[in-house]
Amino acid sequence: MAVTNDEDLALPALFQKCWDADENTETLTDAQLEEAVRWLQSCSRMVATLGLFSSNEQAEDIATADLKYLLVSYLWGDLLSRSRTQDIQKRAELLNDASQLLRGFLEQCNEYGLLGSNERAVLLEAQGQGLLDPATRRTQKIAHIRLEKAAKAKLDALRMQDLRSKRLRELEAEEGSGSADEEFERDVWLTQIHLRTLKAANLLGSLKQEIELLNHAASLPEDLRVRPAQAPPAELMEKLRSAAAALSMGSAQQMRASVFRPSHNLPTVTLAEQADREIAAAQRAAEAQARAEAQRARAEAEDKDTEVETLRQRAWDDWKDDNPRGAGNSKLLPTA
């Protein structure tokens, strides 16, 4: 990631750099993560200076091009929560700052009517105006997971629709679709905001628990604290970043390749190959049937031979019963 002077960038370009950094946090080094946080600080100052948002407005009043800047507080808080510092006190301070930013993001979205009922309940709890019982918290967790899946599925569908539209415009050289493009862009960013409100609500609860644990650990004597885990080797991290980059690139290429893919499965063999396969399968079936019939005939023949032998043995036994041993010898007859 190249180092660039923040002040020289316009707000859209600077926000795009922040967005890309948040989408690829796993591949960022500590220095790049800190630089992305500085970009977001500059973004926040620019948004405040330009006065893009007002508490007197509704979501419909926000310009489509400005909707994405509602996410600046979320991105800032999300990156702060991903800090890799091993200092307990510094980590707790960063998480506190992240919690405030995420709470501010939810409050701003609530003002514009962009929060669901579950997210409003989490916001009220974060503001100290209510306490959720474990059963309600579990129900909300399940609901958040389902809503996140639905939002991600919608974003994937919108991305595919965008790719198809761009390809069609390139092929047909269409013009005058600015209104449709603006509606599409607005739908995309509203969906992104909805997804981030769900993530922010979940992240607030996790950060609260971690802050409590860090504060408890900080109160313990030094010799009772658990030593922080050592950082993985730099060579291993570089290999993991390369693998992650390759996977993300493959996913993008696969998505581009599947833009005009038909809805049905394409054939994988020719008609001649399929005919050969079916003929071979029929021959194997006929051979198996012939072997089975031959085996059955042998079994029947063996059964018949066994039956004939049984009848012969029975006839011989009957004859022996009728003619006792020695019955034809006259010397054995009694004399007068």
What's the pLDDT tens digit per position in 189-213? 888 888 888 888 888 888 888 888 8
Q: How far, in whole angstroms, is CA 191 from its chain's centroid? A: 18
Q: For residue 130, is pLDDT > 70?
A: no
pLDDT per position as a tens digit, 55-101? 788 888 888 888 888 888 889 888 888 888 888 888 888 889 998 99
Q: Are 154 and 192 in contact (CB under 8 A)?
A: no
Output the CATH code of domain 6-171+178-218: 1.25.40.540
pTM here is 0.56
CA 31 to CA 2: how far, in whole Å?
A: 11
Give 46 or 219, the one with higher predicted confidence: 46
In this prediction, residue 286 has a pLDDT band, given cuts at 50, 70 and 90, of very high
Question: Would you list the domain boundaries of the chain?
Answer: 6-171+178-218
What was the pLDDT predicted at 129?
A: 60
On the 0-12 / 13-18 / 19+ scale of CB atoms within 10 A, 193 is buried
Q: For residue 255, is pLDDT > 50?
A: yes
CA 168 to CA 104: how far, in whole Å?
A: 41
Q: For residue 30, is pLDDT > 70?
A: yes
